[in-house]
Amino acid sequence: MKQQSSLLRFRENLQHHRDLPLAFNAAGTALSPGYHLTEIKLATVRSLDCSSKADQWDEVIVQLLDGNPASTAGYMNVAKLLSILDRALAQQSSCDSAELYFEFAPTDNTLQKFAVASITEADGVVHVGLQGLQTQCKPFQRMLAQARSSQRTDNNPASVGGSTAAQSTLTDTNSASTCCR
């Protein structure tokens, strides 16, 4: 299950709302007006999953500092955020396909990393809904994707209500034979 959005898709979704204020909400907590974009991190992540398979991807991480609920500064507008992103990324080779994340510390507690869950416009404000990330066993996720793919290509008479016996055996990460368990 892919939780994140690409930088390109995020920018495309915001282009039509350049003059509107931009509000962020994560885990039921809204960033207060006057929030500050403190840093844009560009990272290449190299990983080794629990089945010893190597992987690599690029990430863009936008770090936000919460504002003050009593602030009269208001929310940053979309055009300003896009301008900051464009300036920060101008020196980098194509980051458009990079996975986009946001970091901030809800109620000034522990810094957390979030993915874009939704972008909506209501009452003249663009709202970016952020969701926390979940730990995933990549070998298990690959097995699920392979099972779903083969299920779509087969006319399986054992399939009932979109579920098969093969699929029901893939409900526990411990069943992933290529995992380290």
Q: Is 95 inside a domain boundary? A: yes
Residue 35 has pLDDT above 90, yes or no: yes
Q: Is 44 inside a domain boundary? A: yes
Q: Is 109 inside a domain boundary? A: yes
How many domains in the chain?
1
Q: Is 70 inside a domain boundary? A: yes
β-bridge partners, 72: none
Are 103 and 113 in contact by the 8 Å Cβ rule? The answer is: yes
| Location of structure tokens 């840093």 | 39
Q: Which two tokens stand for residue 169?
A: 């055996």
14 vs 80: CA distance, rounded Å? 11
3-state helix vs strand vs coil in the chain, percent to 5: 25, 35, 40
Are 14 and 82 in contact by the 8 Å Cβ rule? The answer is: yes
Reported confidence tier of residue 15, pLDDT bands at 50, 70, 90: very high
Query: What mean pLDDT do residues 16-36 have?
Result: 92
Q: Is 149 inside a domain boundary? A: no
* CB half-sphere exposure, 111, CA atoms < 13 A: 9
Reduced 3-state DSSP string for 20-47: CEEEEEECCEECCCCCEEEEEEEEEEEE
Indicate the average pLDDT of the chain. 82
31 vs 149: CA distance, rounded Å? 40
Number of separate helices (H) and strands (E) present in the chain? 4, 8
Query: What is the SS3 assignment for 42?
Result: strand
Reduced 3-state DSSP string for 88-139: HHCCCCCCCCCEEEEEECHHHCCCEEEEEEEEEEECCEEEEEEEECCCCCHH
Residue 41 has pLDDT above 50, yes or no: yes
Q: Is 181 inside a domain boundary? A: no
Q: Is 171 inside a domain boundary? A: no
Domain that holds residue 71: 5-132
Q: Is 21 inside a domain boundary? A: yes
**pLDDT tens-digit map of 55-88:** 998 899 999 999 888 889 899 999 999 999 888 8
